[in-house]
Each structure stands twice: as structure tokens, then as C-alpha cells.
Amino acid sequence: MTTLALYCKSYKTDLRRLVRLMQSIERFNETHIPVYVSVPESELDLFRQHLATTSAHLISDESILQASPGLNIDLVARMHGAVAQQVVKSEFWRLKLAEAYVCLDSDAVFIRPFSSNDFLAPDSYPYTVIDEAHDLLEGAMQQGRPRIVDDFVREAATMQQTFGRHGRRYSFGPFPLVWHRKVWESLDIHYLQPRGMCFAGAIAQTPIESRWYGEALLAYRAIPLHPCQALFKVYHYAWQLDQEARRGINQAQLSALYCGVIYQSAWEREMDWPREGGSLLSRFGRKLRRRLGRI
């Protein structure tokens, strides 16, 4: 079992984005951290064709789910894809390929050389992204978007009540995040098993995998907490990107603070494989909403 791996859960719509991510990994992965990509078994051949010249190790989503004893696979099959992928990503540790893994999304791009030291503290335990999301919440207030603030408060309160934790509301994101198998294992042993639950049931109850991990780490202390800010610059909303463009902040400057950048895939629908979906009218509408900062 290696100390650290990079892992991305993908699917065919994101194929081009994943190829771009792999190109950035091949360019900047200084310490040759192993890379794993999981996709539905039916899509393995497609990804093998497009990733044949990269260092990615391809595995099926099904192999991850099958490695989880007691997991309700039928429940996962009934979930919306965006929710089901949370189960797959959070159960990757069960394959025993790595002690810790950087959980990436397909729309991530590395922008500078990186090594294990970017993700692991000197004791070989991961840095944990944790703060109170003030930058995001303040920006939402300035933009007149109270729903973003309300959602954050509601989600944080729900998970704090689940674990009986009082105090400040934390954000355990954004992605990518570094997860350690001992934290997921502690959640399984101390929370899920005593309640006769599997992780799919937990996600069906509260579909926020980063909060399940973060609150479990605070509750059970399976590993030391090494707090850090976001590893990548993530533009959740178009207005965030617009604000930075107005300030004249470029990618070279961002690389002093972040390993990479994430532009939401909703802004890059032209990268969908094999082509952008929807009618001409719907595609035009998406472009207009992007221009107006509404995506």
C-alpha cells in the first residue's frame, strides 16, 4: 500500500476534461504519485483508448463498491449520478491501494509542479482543508445571493447535530481534498456499524461526503488534524471569476498559493464528450447565463 495516491472518479461526459487533467499531472507530478481513475465498467474500454499513453491506472466503479462489505448496491443504483459518485469516491479507500488519497474532480487542472509535500504533513498524515468559508459567504452577500449563505448554515448545522458537535460552522472543502483511510474507517466503526448503516445510507440521509469526513475526523480523531486552506483555486460561480479578472489576478500569481485551478464544468459544456448536449436554444441560454455570471 502506497502512502499517497491521486484519485479521480469520472465518466464519459467528462472524458475530455479528464484527459486535460492527466496532461497536467504528467507535466507537474514531480514525485510520481500514482494516479487512479475509476469509471463505470461499461466505459472502461473508452477510457483505456484515450488514456493509453498516460500513467493513469484505470479501475471500475463497481470494483470499489464491491469491496465495501454490507454496502447496499441497489440503493446506490437508484441514486442520482451526482450523489452516487459521492459513495464511490468515499469508498475508494477500501481497495487498500493507498493510506491517503487526493480526491480530484475531472475539471481540475494542475498549474505548477507538485509533490507529496503539498498534500502530506511531515508526519505523513494529510493536510485537511478546513475553514469557515468567509470568503465565499462574504462574496455571496455582496452579490445578493442569500441562498448560498442559507445552504451553508443549514448543511453545517445538520452535520454538527448528527455528530453532536457544538461550536463554529466549518467548511471541509472545496475539492480536491486529501482523505485518509483511517478517518473513513473510524466513521464506519464508530457511527455506521452501530446503527446498522452503510455509507450509501449515510449519503442518502445527508449527501455531503466532505462533511461526513470532516466531522468524523473531529469526532473520532483517527489522525492528527493538520489544517490548511484550499489546495486549488475553485471558481464556484461565474461572478467569482469575474471579480478576479477585474483585480488582474492571473494564473501565474495563483500558482504561488494553489496547486491548481477548477473551472466549473457547467461553464465548459463545449468540452462534453462526444459533444455539448441540448438544443441550440439551450446552448445559447447557457452561454448567456455564463456571460451574466449566473452559472
Q: What residues have CB less than 8 Å from 93, skipping those under 6 apart? A: 101, 179, 180, 181, 184, 185
The confidence score (pLDDT) of residue 112 equals 97
Mean pLDDT confidence for 89-95: 97
pLDDT tens digits, 186-242: 999 999 999 999 999 999 999 999 999 999 999 999 999 999 999 999 887 776 777
pLDDT of residue 249: 78
Q: Each residue of 127-180: pLDDT tens digit?
A: 999 999 898 888 889 888 899 999 999 999 999 999 999 999 999 999 999 999
**CB 106 within 8 Å of CB 265:** yes
* Domains of the chain, residue spans: 2-130+172-291
Q: Which CATH class is domain 2-130+172-291?
A: alpha beta
Closest C-alpha among 209, 187, 170 to residue 82? 209
The pLDDT value given to residue 46: 97
Q: What is the mean pLDDT of the chain?
A: 90
Preceding omega of 176 cis (within 30 degrees of 0): yes
Pairing of strands 177-180, 127-129: unpaired
Which residue would you say has higher pLDDT here, 85 or 280? 85
* CA dist list (Å): 38 to 157, 178, 189, 273: 32, 17, 25, 17
Specify the pLDDT at position 142.
84
- Which pTM value belongs to this model? 0.90
Least confident of 9-18, 125-134, 264-273, 274-283: 274-283
